[in-house]
Chains A and B, each alone.
Chain A
């Protein structure tokens, strides 16, 4: 009930209602289409080149689908992809939990030293990966922790959760305190108020943060190099190693399949309505 009160918006006001803005609206959409074109241009090229005959994949040499066939039988590459997805998945979940609760607590309470805490949270965002990688490795080896999935996930969460935290904080800045008050007035416990009022309000920021965390984790190399064991080697790590040999179109095929699969999922999934509310 409270959720409805907080979230319901008059249906018509989502769309721009008046004339003068229509031209502006149209140009904004064209701009957006242009930016999406910019974002997907290399992806298009990547997909086209996955059919490239040339193994070195720099110059187009002819059409073939052999790389797609080779892809399925490449066990190490598939394992690396699986590792990446697992690590990114766990990292995202942990980052969202730590980042969201951290942002909320910093917003709700005035901690002594909150500026210091805030700064500490910002440090992993700026830290060059080589430094984070080496210092974490020294730490892990000093305390005798074996490298593997756990160490990689710890490292990934460390530089991912600040992104969630910052995104959630920005949204909290506009949170109307009256909302939570109303919930408490109506008899909810602070925890219930948080869960039923604040979290739904924060959803767009949580989703944004989660997307950023997942993306950062999926594509990270240097920190992963220093904190991994062979069993937990990720896909970007393998791909970087292959640069010397030549980035074979099989890698393009892998990326192409992944992208096309997720795009299809996105465009045709009906469940997506729920996360954006």
Chain B
């Protein structure tokens, strides 16, 4: 009798824990993970995905640091991943559980933010570059110096990212984009002051709007924006500045306090499948690091100059810690002075 009761209890427990649906708490960019991908994952694994969104890497970090929410997967940009790793806020990823990791192009593995390739998986690569409305601007534009000329005053759009702005001036002056020191910033100041006066719109969310509406003729924007512009109208050319351009890598990572680590690994492997990765590329014309997925893309997608530019220099942004304050102060100062 007792044994039967015990067996019943054990099997009941097994039944309950076995059928309790696993969940995955995903914290990612809005619209960066298409609904089709999520639905496909849930259908196959029966894992429910709670997709919480943010609109920028900094927002993600702010909410993570301020709140107690425990996420299983987050999607930081490279320099934020770097500082998360350094502060031991990420769990190592078990590469054995990710057979599809081999699809990723080798140049995007072992990058400076995660040299041992232990904590992150690259999601999408992008660049920041020059987009030109060639219907209006007929002359060749090769770099920042060509963009920030007095003749283009009030016809320029740039991303509203203080660090980006400063980095462009740094590379133009031949300095290291990650070397943020008071001395370097003093050199940046006069150049940036002149450049800021020429800009009509600062917009990180949708710089394509100003270009499409014809309010500006050229600008320095995210490659995804430029790719969408190109898809809309091929008159929008994309050029990586000759002074130096940097790629940025948006990665997926597992926070240290994640509860559903197994589900997280399943999801990571799932999106590394070529056919799934292709779905992501269909929605987001960024550079897909997944070589197998690239084979499934259309001619049109691959020939978009903003989606697959020739990246020659792989220097990404590194975390600059407290120096971010210096940059913020400088740009606020210069913008205010107008």
CA distance A86 to B300 in the complex (A): 44
Q: What is the minimal beta-carbon distance from B298 to any residue of chain A, in angstroms? A: 17
Partner of B68, one of A134, A141, A237, A243: A141
Q: Are A147 and B67 in contact (CB under 8 A)?
A: yes
Q: Smallest CB-CB separation from A76: which chain B residue? A: B35
**Does any Cβ of A come within 8 Å of B53's Cβ?**
yes
**Does any Cβ of A come within 8 Å of B176's Cβ?**
no
**Does any Cβ of B come within 8 Å of A35's Cβ?**
no
Q: What is the minimal beta-carbon distance from A87 to any residue of chain B, in angstroms? A: 16
Stretch at the interface among B84-92, B150-158, B201-209, B248-256: B201-209
Given the interface pairs A58-B212, A229-B50, A231-B50, the reply to whether A241 lies near B63 with Cβ below 8 Å is: no
Q: Smallest CB-CB separation from A239: which chain B residue? A: B30
Q: Are B209 and A233 in contact (CB under 8 A)?
A: no
Chain A residues numbered 205-239 whose CB sits less than 8 Å from any CB in chain B: 225-226, 228-231, 233, 237-238
The size of the chain A interface, using a CB distance under 8 A, is 29
**Does any Cβ of A come within 8 Å of B105's Cβ?**
no
**Does any Cβ of A come within 8 Å of B94's Cβ?**
no
Given the interface pairs A54-B232, A56-B228, A242-B31, the reply to whether A137 lies near B66 with Cβ below 8 Å is: yes
Q: Are B55 and A241 in contact (CB under 8 A)?
A: yes
Q: What is the minimal beta-carbon distance from B21 to any residue of chain A, in angstroms? A: 15
**Does any Cβ of B come within 8 Å of A138's Cβ?**
yes
Chain B residues numbered 63-81 whose CB sits less than 8 Å from any CB in chain A: 63, 66-69
Given the interface pairs A76-B35, A244-B30, A244-B205, the reply to whether A229 lies near B53 with Cβ below 8 Å is: no
Most chain B beta-carbon contacts within 10 A, residue among A229, A231, A244:
A244
**Does any Cβ of B come within 8 Å of A128's Cβ?**
no
**Does any Cβ of B come within 8 Å of A59's Cβ?**
yes
- Please indicate the chain A residues that have their CB under 8 angstroms from the CB of B205 in the complex: 243-244
Partner of B213, one of A58, A231, A238, A242: A58
Q: Smallest CB-CB separation from A228: which chain B residue? A: B52
Q: Are A233 and B52 in contact (CB under 8 A)?
A: yes
Partner of B55, one of A228, A229, A240: A240
**Does any Cβ of A come within 8 Å of B41's Cβ?**
no
**Interface digits, A128-155 against B, CB 8 Å rule (1 contact, 0 not)?**
0000001001101100100100000000
Q: Are A225 and B232 in contact (CB under 8 A)?
A: no
Q: What is the minimal beta-carbon distance from B70 to any residue of chain A, in angstroms? A: 10
- Please indicate the chain A residues that have their CB under 8 angstroms from the CB of B208 in the complex: 56, 58, 246
Q: What is the minimal beta-carbon distance from A11 to any residue of chain B, in angstroms? A: 53
Chain A residues numbered 102-144 whose CB sits less than 8 Å from any CB in chain B: 134, 137-138, 140-141, 144
Chain B residues numbered 264-299 whose CB sits less than 8 Å from any CB in chain A: 283-284
Given the interface pairs A137-B66, A141-B67, the reply to whether A243 lies near B59 with Cβ below 8 Å is: no
Chain B residues numbered 94-152 whose CB sits less than 8 Å from any CB in chain A: none
Q: Smallest CB-CB separation from A144: which chain B residue? A: B68
Q: Are B30 and A230 in contact (CB under 8 A)?
A: no
Q: Are A226 and B52 in contact (CB under 8 A)?
A: no
Chain B residues numbered 7-31 whose CB sits less than 8 Å from any CB in chain A: 25, 29-31
Given the interface pairs A56-B212, A243-B206, the reply to whether A225 lies near B67 with Cβ below 8 Å is: no
**Does any Cβ of A come within 8 Å of B54's Cβ?**
yes
CA distance A76 to B39 in the complex (A): 12
**Does any Cβ of B come within 8 Å of A245's Cβ?**
yes
Q: What is the minimal beta-carbon distance from B217 to any residue of chain A, in angstroms? A: 15
Partner of B52, one of A134, A137, A229: A229
**Does any Cβ of A come within 8 Å of B308's Cβ?**
no
**Does any Cβ of A come within 8 Å of B62's Cβ?**
yes
Given the interface pairs A243-B205, A245-B31, the reply to whether A59 lies near B59 with Cβ below 8 Å is: no
Partner of B66, one of A134, A230, A231, A246: A134
- Please indicate the chain A residues that have their CB under 8 angstroms from the CB of B283 in the complex: 245
Q: Are B53 and A241 in contact (CB under 8 A)?
A: yes
Most chain A beta-carbon contacts within 10 A, residue among B208, B213, B232:
B232
Q: Smallest CB-CB separation from B50: which chain A residue? A: A230
Q: Are A134 and B62 in contact (CB under 8 A)?
A: yes
Given the interface pairs A56-B232, A58-B209, the reply to whether A244 lies near B63 with Cβ below 8 Å is: no
Given the interface pairs A56-B228, A244-B30, the reply to whether A230 lies near B35 with Cβ below 8 Å is: no
Q: What is the minimal beta-carbon distance from B42 to any residue of chain A, in angstroms? A: 13
**Interface digits, B38-61 against A, CB 8 Å rule (1 contact, 0 not)?**
000000000000111111000100
Partner of A244, one of B35, B50, B55: B55
- Please indicate the chain A residues that have their CB under 8 angstroms from the CB of B52 in the complex: 228-230, 233
- Please indicate the chain A residues that have their CB under 8 angstroms from the CB of B209 in the complex: 56, 58
Q: Smallest CB-CB separation from B56: which chain A residue? A: A244
CA distance A245 to B228 in the complex (A): 8
CA distance A171 to B34 in the complex (A): 51
Given the interface pairs A56-B208, A233-B53, the reply to whether A238 lies near B30 with Cβ below 8 Å is: yes
Most chain A beta-carbon contacts within 10 A, residue among B54, B62, B213, B284:
B62
CA distance A147 to B213 in the complex (A): 40
CA distance A58 to B225 in the complex (A): 14
Q: What is the minimal beta-carbon distance from B146 to any residue of chain A, in angstroms? A: 25
Closest 8 CB pairs of A and B: A241-B30, A141-B68, A58-B212, A230-B50, A230-B52, A137-B67, A137-B66, A243-B205
8 contacts across the A-B interface (CB closer than 8 A): A56-B232, A59-B212, A138-B67, A141-B68, A141-B69, A229-B69, A230-B51, A241-B54
Q: A141-B69, A231-B50, A245-B283 are in contact. List 18 more A-B contacts (CB 8 A).
A: A54-B232, A56-B212, A56-B232, A58-B209, A58-B212, A137-B66, A137-B67, A225-B63, A226-B66, A229-B52, A233-B53, A240-B30, A243-B206, A244-B31, A244-B205, A245-B31, A245-B284, A246-B208
